[in-house]
Amino acid sequence: MVPARLSWPHALLAIAVTAVWGTNFVVIRWALDDLPPFTLAALRFTFAALPAIAFVRRPAEPWRDLAAYGLLIGAGQFGLLFLAMDGRISPGLASLVVQAQVFFTVGLAMLMSREALRGFQWAALALGAAGLVLIGLRTDGDATLPGLALVLLAAFCWAGGNLVARRHPQASMLAFVIWSSLFSAPPLILLALVAEGPAAIAHGIRAADLWTWAAVAWQTVGNTLFGYTAWGYLLARHPAAVVSPMALLVPVFGMSASALLLGEGMPAWKLLAALLVLAGLALNTLWPLLRPARPAGVAQRSGAG
């Protein structure tokens, strides 16, 4: 029987993953002090694939899906996210805005299945959109319009990657990420060569100190290998609707870490924007769990956003 709620060990594991993913936005900001954004992303996914593919068997999924996932998550999500965080948006706001992937995932899934949005989903979308509009109206040193647009595009690519992964619920997520990284690294290397140039790449690598390389390693080991493996472990043992609400902690950790470690200001407008976005995410994720129970004998079905 599948557990209906997380045990304490599993809840602590989920919190650890969201803490890693949330605080990683600060780590990205530190690494970008030395490395250009596409170079940093290329290094992350190169190390995610090599030498791991020598030890992890390729999943039985089609090459086209591995390629699609690698392009969407690697070149799309993280390439655009790193570019945005290179002076165009603060780490705290980036950790919040990128969660728009939840709404994009739901929207794309419903578009493909030709299902209409339900009332609570419209309300959740309105709350999240209000928060994003508030961020757009208050563009300053913490967020620029190009930065906001890049992170929203990154969130859209993340949503596309989610839909690819959803086609393979039985796949090993660790193997899927490792082998799909073979398709993430080449376009990122090409983008680095074209957009940043060999001289900038070489300068960044020469300027990188031990802490920068530690940040690169953390991108690979902490976020990719530990994060995705642990999250996949939890999803394999609990309903998605039980695990997915824990992801709401990612922007909480992200904004808190950015405020504490980078001195990012938290004025009232930013807290209001965060409250609106998080309220929308919470409504979209938790409403199916809070509906009144159906009459006995009628099976209930719940799913993540």
pLDDT more than 70, % of the chain = 91
Residue 81, pLDDT score: 96
pLDDT at 296 over 70: no
271 belongs to a structural domain: no
117 belongs to a structural domain: no
pLDDT range class, residue 292, cuts 50, 70, 90: low
pLDDT range class, residue 298, cuts 50, 70, 90: very low
Predicted confidence (pLDDT) per residue in 32-72, tens digit: 999 999 999 999 999 999 999 999 999 999 999 999 999 99
284 belongs to a structural domain: no
pLDDT at 94 over 60: yes
pLDDT at 1 over 60: no
193 belongs to a structural domain: yes
CA 123 to chain centre: 23
Least confident interval from 58-62, 128-132, 151-155, 227-231: 227-231
300 belongs to a structural domain: no
116 belongs to a structural domain: no
162 belongs to a structural domain: yes
Residue 241, pLDDT score: 62
Domains of the chain: total: 1
What is the amino acid identity at position 298?
V
Computed over every residue of the chain, the mean pLDDT equals 86
Predicted confidence (pLDDT) per residue in 106-132, tens digit: 788 778 877 677 788 888 888 988 988
Show the domain range for 101: 24-109+143-264
63 belongs to a structural domain: yes
